Amino acid sequence: DAGVIQSPRHEVTEMGQEVTLRCKPISGHDYLFWYRQTMMRGLELLIYFNNNVPIDDSGMPEDRFSAKMPNASFSTLKIQPSEPRDSAVYFCASSPFDTQYFGPGTRLTVL
């Protein structure tokens, strides 16, 4: 298996623009997680899905953030409109039950 795949790997955008991050989890994993990592706050859970259903989105910072999982092999995290404070590395992880396997991350820079 190729592991968790994320795209794009790097994204530079201007404040106010819409940003969409994509994730393909490991096949057969029922859980999918979105994290944000910054130097100041470390690794923070934003939202997670079980069998494509959002279970806990309490970590989503604002209504500007939304996540979807239309099927078992694809998820998106959207920020609209983006702000400079959203600059961070965004990780997707998938899990069969407990152990989480992380993707390489998307480095987002909002100017």
Partner 1 sequence: EDQVTQSPEALRLQEGESSSLNCSYTVSGLRGLFWYRQDPGKGPEFLFTLYSAGEEKEKERLKATLTKKESFLHITAPKPEDSATYLCAVQDNYGQNFVFGPGTRLSVLP
Q: Is 27 in the site for partner 1 (CB under 8 A)?
A: no
Q: Does 110 bind partner 1 (CB under 8 A)?
A: no
Alpha carbons 60 and 47: distance in angstroms, whole number: 6
Is the separation of the CB atoms in 90 and 21 below 8 Å?
yes
CA distances to 2, 7, 85 from 75, in Å: 16, 11, 23
**Is residue 102 involved in binding partner 1 (CB under 8 A)?**
yes
Of 55 and 111, CB closest to partner 1: 55
Q: Using CB under 8 A as the criterion, which residues of the chain lie in contact with partner 1 when the complex forms?
A: 4, 31, 33, 42-43, 45, 48, 50, 55-56, 91, 93, 95, 98-105
